[in-house]
Amino acid sequence: MRKFGTTHEAMVLTSARGSGKGWKRVSQTAAKRSVLPRLTTADAGTETADGTLGATVVTNEASGSLYFAVVTNGGVATNTQVVAGAGGDIVAGKAGNAAVTVIGTQTTVAITGLSASTTYQIKFVQRDVYGNDSEQASAELITTI
């Protein structure tokens, strides 16, 4: 598999007319892929009485990792913070990631231990194997029971 955005070097045996054979160092940088992963249809699922939320999001690309983070009451978190699982308005310990191996609906693990009667939102970012990040997708606000 070719990794984009990486420089590769090689020694190549050359034969130039009149100069005989020789070795030449060549390098090439592969371009970073320009197609970004795209997330749609983010859903926080249904809350349960024990403060558990499930979440899903749909992706157009089967590679890389899907990151998610829970924020309170429509709070903010940058893509970098969602990938790191900390910062912004992310609820401590309520973030994670999973490998993306198929196109379509991705289901995160159940998010447990949330406070009762509190409004949350789940934010998603996908980073593909080329290092490209999707635009952030956010599930609707949902209030635990």
- The answer to whether the CB of 99 falls within 8 A of the CB of 87 is no
Domains and CATH numbers, the chain: 39-143 (2.60.40.4070)
Q: Three-state DSSP class for 41?
A: strand
What is the chain's pLDDT, residue by residue, as a tens digit (145 residues)? 334 455 556 665 566 555 566 666 666 555 556 689 999 988 887 776 677 888 899 999 999 999 999 999 889 999 999 999 999 999 999 999 999 999 999 987 778 888 888 889 999 999 999 999 999 999 888 888 7
Instruction: Indicate yes or no: pTM above 0.85.
Output: no
- The answer to whether the CB of 108 falls within 8 A of the CB of 66 is yes
- The answer to whether the CB of 107 falls within 8 A of the CB of 119 is no
